[in-house]
Amino acid sequence: MAEEWFERSEENLGETSEAEELKAQLLEAQSLAEERLDQLLRCRADLDNVMKRAAKEKEEYVKYASEKIICKLLPVLDSLDQAAKHDQGTKVLYQQLLDILKADGLVPVEAVGKKFDPYRHEALYQVKTDELEEDTVAEEIQKGYLFNSRVIRFSKVAVAKR
């Protein structure tokens, strides 16, 4: 009977050491989980800060985005001031402004003498003529413009008709 008790005690001791080992593993896993949760919360806070900073930088960029073009247009403004005093400066003014805008990607749409293109031209009316082929732009009423290869304003035109 004493031997039976001794064997049961050894089994209990084996179970106890297993339980203690499992408890130790559980504590280690809990510690690791808490560490990972702390890392996750810190990363989330860092991400929130980065997003706020990016939004603030974007807001600043949008606020001052036109500064470059305005600075380029200041000489034109000065020229306009001078042109108000002297009428002959109008052509120079136009060319100066167009050159500045061309440097930033603005290009006038070619119209007169070209084949009518509904993706670049807006037909306002037709003109009877024998001098031009049918569906050719005979007259440009308002100039159209491309900005970086995209139409921002269609040319308003009169189209030749036979």
Residue type, 94: Y
Q: Which domain holds residue 161?
A: 106-162
Domain boundary among 74, 104, 134: 104
Domain boundary among 104, 126, 154: 104
**Tokens standing for 25?**
């593993």
Tell whether 160 and 110 lie within a shared domain. yes
Say how many Å lie between the first and final Cα of the chain, rounded. Answer: 125
Greatest Cα pair distance in the chain: 129
**For the domain that residue 117 is a member of, what is the CATH number?**
2.30.22.10
Q: What is the pTM for the complete model shown?
A: 0.51
In tens digits, the chain (162 residues) has pLDDT values of 545 544 555 555 556 788 899 999 999 999 999 999 999 999 999 999 999 999 999 988 877 776 777 778 778 877 877 776 777 777 788 888 888 888 888 888 999 999 999 999 999 999 998 888 999 999 999 989 988 888 889 999 999 998
Tell whether 125 and 153 lie within a shared domain. yes
Tell whether 46 and 90 lie within a shared domain. no
Contact 135, 159 (CB under 8 A): yes
User: Which pLDDT belongs to residue 1?
Assistant: 53
Tell whether 58 and 1 lie within a shared domain. yes
